[in-house]
Amino acid sequence: MEKLIQTLPKAELHIHIEGSLEPELMFSLAERNGIRLCFDSVEQARRAYAFDNLQSFLDIYYEGANVLHQEQDFYDLTWAYLEKAAAQNVRHTEIFFDPQTHTERGIAFTTVLSGITRALAAGREKLDVSSQLILCFFAASECGCRHGDLGPSATLSGSNHRRGVGFLGGRAPPGKIQAGLRSGPGRGFSYCGPRR
Q: Which residues of 69-143 form beta strands (DSSP E)?
A: 90-97, 130-138
**CB neighbours of residue 91 within 10 Å:** 15
Kindly state the greatest CA–CA separation across the chain.
52
- This model's pTM is above 0.85: no
In whole angstroms, what is the distance from residue 23 CA to residue 45 CA?
6
Better-scored residue on pLDDT, 69 or 58: 69
CA dihedral 156, 158, 160, 164 (to 10 degrees): 0
Better-scored residue on pLDDT, 170 or 132: 132
Which tens digits make up the pLDDT trace of 30-49?
A: 999 999 999 999 999 999 99
CB 2 within 8 A of CB 45: no
CB 127 within 8 A of CB 87: no
Q: Is 150 a residue whose pLDDT tops 60?
A: no
Instruction: Note the pLDDT of residue 168.
Output: 55
Enumerate domains of the chain plus CATH numbers: 2-18+74-192 (3.20.20.140)
Instruction: Note the pLDDT of residue 139.
Output: 57
Which tens digits make up the pLDDT trace of 13-27?
A: 989 999 999 999 999
Residue 166 confidence class, pLDDT cut points 50, 70, 90? low
**CB neighbours of residue 123 within 10 Å:** 21
Better-scored residue on pLDDT, 167 or 98: 98
In whole angstroms, what is the distance from residue 118 CA to residue 26 CA?
20
